[in-house]
Every structure is written in structure tokens, then in C-alpha cells.
Chains A and B, each alone.
Chain A
Amino acid sequence: MRLLSRIFPHPYLTGLLTVVWLLLVNSYSLNSLLFGFLLGIVIPFLTRPYWTDRPELHHPLKIVEYFAIVIWDIIVANVIVAGIVLFKRNADRHPAWVCIPMELRSPEAITVLAGTITLTPGTVSADLSAEGHFLLVHCLDAPDPDAVRDEIKDRYERRLMEIFE
């Protein structure tokens, strides 16, 4: 078991690198599968000093659900932001900073949350607090900043809690 985790310090990364290599090659063959797998072993092994923790993932189905929700939100919010850009005068717009308290503690989970917030239009995650317990988010148009905070906490953070912790 020890030996196995020395060779595969990050099994998910190994899998991901193999898949990325197959996608780069753009056609499936045993050769490229084996070479991708080789890369998947060598790269995590060489970069091990920079990845000290192994994130634990629970509920694989929740990850799929999370992705689906995020993609749907991206589409919906894109339309809303396009509406704001095209039809709302700058004077009527209420840009706002929102401070979001986080219960998430693992760096990977916080990274995913911040990335999700930036990708969903209308919000950009700008900074982390000094101890990493709060996230600073800028909203393009937020007449009610508290509602934005509650939605991010309920929609994304709650699901990430289930996946990562």
C-alpha cells in the first residue's frame, strides 16, 4: 500500500493526465493510452514536492451534478449579463463588493469555488482574506448584495462541502 501511494501520489491526477493525453492525440490507440499512462505516472512523481496534500473526493455523482449546475448557470448568467451590458445605463447599475464567509477549508475546494464564481458571469472573485476564511467578490450589478452572498453559499459552497469535506 505504501509503495503504491509512493508510485501514485495522486491517482486522480494520473487519470486526468492520461485522459488529457488521449484528447491531445485525438484518436484512441493502445500506444497512446500506454504513453499517456506513463506521463500520468512520471509527472505526478516529479512534481510531488509541490503537491503535499491529496484532496479527498466524496460522492462522484455530486461532482457530475455540480458540473451540470455550473454549466447551466454559466449559460443563464451570460444572457443576463449581456442584457445588462446592452440595455442598462451605467447610472442604473449597482456594482458592489461582496464579502463571502466560507466554511470550506481545503485549498482545492476554495480554488474551485473561486473559479466557479469567476466563470459564472456577473461575479468575479477578487481576493481572499488574510487567513483565508473570507472571499471578496465583485458583482457587476447587485442591488441586493446579501442575496448574492446567500445564493453563492447555498448553490455552490454547500455542494462543494459535500464533495470535498
Chain B
Amino acid sequence: MWSAFANPERFERLAARLVPWFGWGAAILFAIGLPWALIISPPDYQQGDTVRIMYVHVPSAWLSMAAYAGLGGASFVYFIWRHNIADLAAQALAPIGAVFAFLTLATGSLWGRPMWGTWWEWDARLTSMLVLFLLYLGYMALRAAIEDERLAARAGAILAMAGLINLPIIKFSVDWWNTLHQPASVIRLDGPTIHMSQLWPLLVMALAFTALMTALVLMNVRNMSLAKRAEARARRRIEGEGT
């Protein structure tokens, strides 16, 4: 069933049809979620208005991890079945995931300043997010360094899969490291369970971010697929003229 979308033209048609849905869906969800999260929802009884950073921070963190899972999954599909669309999806997901990881670190840092009194805390989550960001950078650097496109796609796929296997181990080791060597007084993000008045805007924002990422990835993959086919066609024409 899935191999049907390995046909570039069929995928492009499907993507062209889906992009407006996700794009407008994201716009509408942001139109609801942003005012709700940033203005309407009550300030936290402990954290005051700084809690509003959460509505950008947490969805970014979720998506940076989801994007890496997608990167690994797409790489697996490409590696086994050599579906070019899967490789294009991996290529599209990497920079977007990296941006979300960076956004998570940046907003976490901004949030940490008023809450923890420091821009950076060697907290387990911050540190594993930093490692995730480095994994994205390594993936993109490897692809950029190899000139041959197929070779770059293959090496990238292998690295993404290795990263996916290693990611839980890294997460575990960083948690272990942190519980061993961090004074227990650190304020944890997950103190009291979240109140419903904060949970709903958070979920809307998460959906909005997800729709935005889906639209961006689909647009990106479609563009790359079109560019690839245009290039192939141009090459055929030049070769045809040569003979």
C-alpha cells in the first residue's frame, strides 16, 4: 500500500492536495492557540507569566523528537526499499527537526533564567536535547560532505538509523548521569501535574505545531521531488540534443 506513494508524481499530487489542509489547519490552530496560550490562559500560581513559554517550548520538544523518529523511520524505508520519496522526507525532516531542537533549547534557556536563575542548567533533559541537536547537525553535515547524491542518501540513512537505536541509550545514560551527580534541589519542570486550564491550550499548540511541521515537510518533499524530475528532464533533453 505504502509503495504506491513511492511514485513521485502520485506523491506530488497527493502532497499538493494535503498541503493546504495542513497549512490552513496550522493557521487556524495557531489563531486559536496563540491567544489562548499567551493571553487568556491563567498565569501559573508559582511561575507567573513565564509559564507561557511552555506553550512554545513543550511542543517544540515533542516535535524535535518526533522529527527524529520520522527521520529514522524514513531512513529505514529508504535503506530497505530504496524509495526516493522516503529519502527526500528524511532530507526535509532533518533541518526542521534541528530547528525545533534549537527552539527547545533557546526557549528552555529563556525559561530557565527567571525560574532557575540560570540560563543553562545541566539538567538531564536539556543535555539530551543538546545531544539530539548534535545528532541532527552530524546528519546534515554528513549529507552535505558527500557529493554523490545516492551515496549521501545511503550514508545518511545508516547514520540516522544508528542514531535512532542509540538515542534511548543516550537518554538513559544522561538520566543516570544526572541523578548521580546533580544536587537533588534542582527545580524540576514536572513538579505538580499540569492543570486543565493549561493543558488545553498546550494541546492546541501541539496540534498547531504538528500541522505546521507536516505542511512544511510535505511542501519541502514535493519541491525537492519536482526539482529532481525537472533536472532529470533537462539532462535528458541535453543528451538528446547531443546525439
Do A and B originate from a single complex? no
Q: Which residues of B contact A (CB under 8 A)?
A: none
Binding site for B on A (CB under 8 A): none
